[in-house]
Amino acid sequence: MPGALRELHWHPNADEWQFVLSGKMRTTVFASSGRATTVELSEGDVGFAPMGYGHSIQNNGKEKSRVILAFNNGEYQEISLSSWLSSNPTRLLETNLSLPREVIEKLPKKEEFIFG
| Cα atoms in the 13 Å half-sphere on the side-chain side of 8 | 13
The pLDDT of residue 103 is above 60:
yes
pLDDT tens for each residue of 41-66: 999 999 999 999 999 999 999 999 99
Residue type, 66: R
> So what's the pLDDT on residue 109?
74
* Phi–psi pair at 84, nearest 5 degrees: -65, -45
Predicted confidence band at 104 (pLDDT cuts at 50, 70, 90)? confident
pTM metric for this prediction: 0.81
pLDDT for res 113: 57
Contact assessment for residue 14 and residue 48, using Cβ atoms and an 8 Å cutoff: no
* CA triple 48-38-96, angle to 5 deg: 95
Number of domains into which the chain is organized: 1
CB 18 within 8 A of CB 47: yes
Which residues form the domain of 41?
Answer: 5-115
How far apart, in whole angstroms, are the C-alpha atoms of residue 78 and residue 14?
Answer: 9
Provide the CATH number for the domain around residue 26.
2.60.120.10
* Greater pLDDT, 80 or 110: 80
Give the single-character DSSP code of 46: E
Of 14 and 86, which is predicted with more confidence?
14
